[in-house]
Structures are given as structure tokens and as C-alpha cells.
Amino acid sequence: MLKLSQFRPVTIRDQALFRAHYSRYPQVHSDNLFSNMLCWNHFANYAYLQVGGAIVLCSTIQGKTRFRPPIGPRDPDLLEEVIHLAIREGDEAPLVLVDTPAREWIQYLYPELPLHEDRDHFEYVYCAEDLARLPGGEYLTLRRQLNRFRKQCRPLLEEIAPHNLADVERFLHEWCEWKQCDEHPFLAEEKDAVLYAISHFTELGLSGLLIRIEGKVGAIAVFEEMNRETAVVHFEKGLPDCEGIYKAINAETAAFLEERYRYINRESDMGVPGLREAKMRYHPHHMVEVSYALHDDLARMV
């Protein structure tokens, strides 16, 4: 029987383990990525258990623990054990981030189990070429705004590297002052997450770009490989001094990535007002859909 006490906190020392495991079982949702877990560990308290060639993940946010389906070879007995553990230790929705392959597997084993769409955590995946080139009439307004920015603001593009990490950190503190991060709980958590990413940038194997306006950092993007055909953008921030800078860092990131990756995952909208509309304006190629199961429904199944 699985026990929560068997789970270990995810730490930087586990990097080789997760890199090796995910090379065999590539991920499609950013929440499970090692770097994402490290950056958000202060908020989500990620933990894992290795069992039967699989990894089981859980997170605990504000005292509520939730589990993911096992990542690894399909093992119905292990899934049943995870469900029992989720019933004992989880909250009202204890099994989460069930992606489409896992959903199909679970519904094959438990055809009567309702699985509910978690729209706020669907991730937006775009063709890298589309984001880089903004082709056709549907992107016309975005192209015009981007061209206006380039003409008026005269940006300079740099890769994020050890020599400019201090500039990026100063930019992030300025961004948080503008956004009043400390007065908004989620932004305060995001501030800690992105600062962790920058302070462990090389160690986590992250990549990134920055845009300077008159020598000063005005926008950044932090990204990495998710799987062989997809890159994921974890953080994208910009100051309001030069209109269109968010569109510029988006396009420059895509241009930087398009030769190596077919797709770019730009993560979820988390239900933030206005963010869903902004992401839809870029016409995603597809969504990474995820579902969750309710405690009482799971209890009736096993």
C-alpha cells in the first residue's frame, strides 16, 4: 500500500533522475517538468515516489494535496494504489492533470468514472513558424503592432547568459514594482518562481532572450525544451515603457526556436481575466487538455 510518508520532496539533486525518466516518457504539460517544479516548489511543495519503474507526483498547496497519474509504464495495479492514496490523503479533487493519453487509459479501466475538464489549466500550443512569422490576414493587426514597435523603440535582442543575469534580476524587481506583486498573492508567488529560475538559470539548463530599449532591459522570455518537437515558455515579462514589447519578445522567442522545434507551448491561462483572450488571438494549433477526478467519484470506483 502506498503511503504519503514514502514520498520525497523534489529537490535540485533529483535533476538527473527526472531528466532520464522524462527522456523515456516525454511530457506534454509543463506542470510536470522538473524546472517548473523547482521554480514553484515554495508554493506547490512537490514530492515524488519511484515505484515499479514509474514516478508518481503530488503537490500540496495551502494544505491540500493532489496526485497525478503515474508517469511510466502502464500498470493498472499501481494506478489503483494511487487512487486509493488520493482518496485517503487528497482533497475534494485529489487526482489532477490527467492528460489525454492518461484519460483514455483511466476511462478504459474505469469506464464509469467521471473526469472533468480543467479548462483553466489547458495549455496553449502554437506552431513555432506561425508565432515567428505571423502569416496571413488573421495576424495582420499583430504584424502592424510589431512593426510599429520595431520602428519606434529600436530594440536590441540578446540571449540571456551569465553575464547579463544581474540585469535580468534588476528588471524583474522593476517589473514587480510596476505590477505591485507583493499586493497580489499570485504575483508574489510568481515573483519568487521567476527569480528562482534566474538565480538557478544555468543549473536548470534554461534558455532565454531579453530585449533592451536604450540599453535597459525591457522584456524577457525564459524557456526550455519540453520534448523533441516542443519548446515551452515558462516566463515572459515586459515593462510598459514601449508599446508592443510583449508582442516583440513573443515573436523573437519563436524566431529563435523555430528551426529546432515544431511547436511552442505557452502554458495555461490559469483563468486569469483577459489572458485567455490574449492567448487565443495567436491562434493555437492545439491545446494540451487536462482533467481531474473528484474524491467521491473515485471512492465509488474502488
Q: How many CB atoms lie within 10 A of CB 216?
A: 13
- How many residues comprise the chain? 302
Residues 6+ apart with CB under 8 A from 98: 68, 69, 106, 115, 290, 291, 292, 293
78/234 Cα distance (integer angstroms): 31
Instruction: Look at residue 273 in the predicted model and tell me its pLDDT.
Output: 83
Q: At what angle do helices 100-109 and 76-89 cross, to 10 degrees?
A: 100
23/72 Cα distance (integer angstroms): 11
> Is there a contact between 201 and 183 (Cβ–Cβ < 8 Å)?
no
Q: Which three cell numbers stand for residue 17?
A: 533522475
Instruction: Look at residue 302 in the predicted model and tell me its pLDDT.
Output: 87
Q: How far is CA 125 from the centre of its chain?
A: 11
> Is there a contact between 255 and 132 (Cβ–Cβ < 8 Å)?
yes
Q: How many CB atoms lie within 10 A of CB 57?
A: 23
29/232 Cα distance (integer angstroms): 9
Q: What is the residue-level pLDDT of the chain in tens, covering all 302 positions? A: 999 999 999 999 999 999 999 999 999 999 999 999 999 999 999 999 999 999 999 999 999 999 999 999 999 999 999 999 999 999 999 999 999 999 999 999 999 999 999 999 999 999 999 999 999 999 999 999 999 999 999 999 999 999 999 999 999 999 999 999 999 999 999 999 999 999 999 999 999 999 999 999 999 999 999 999 999 999 999 999 999 999 999 999 999 999 999 999 999 999 988 999 999 999 999 999 999 999 999 999 88
Closest CA to 290 of 94, 25, 29: 29
How far lies 51's CA from each of 12, 56, 74, in Å?
20, 8, 12
Residues 6+ apart with CB under 8 A from 57: 32, 37, 46, 47, 48, 67, 68, 71
Three-class secondary structure of residue 223 per DSSP = strand
Domains and their CATH numbers in the chain: 4-121+290-301 (3.40.630.30), 123-267 (3.40.630.30)
> Is there a contact between 30 and 123 (Cβ–Cβ < 8 Å)?
yes
Beta bridge partners of 127: 263
Q: How far is CA 91 from the centre of its chain?
A: 23
Instruction: Look at residue 218 in the predicted model and tell me its pLDDT.
Output: 98
Beta bridge partners of 123: 288
Q: Which three cell numbers stand for residue 205?
A: 539548463
Q: Which stretch of DSSP H or E encloses residue 82?
A: helix 76-89
115/106 Cα distance (integer angstroms): 9
Q: In what order do the strands lie in the sheet with 8-9?
A: 8-9, 47-51, 54-61, 64-67, 95-99, 290-293, 116-117
> Is there a contact between 65 and 89 (Cβ–Cβ < 8 Å)?
yes
Instruction: Look at residue 128 in the predicted model and tell me its pLDDT.
Output: 99
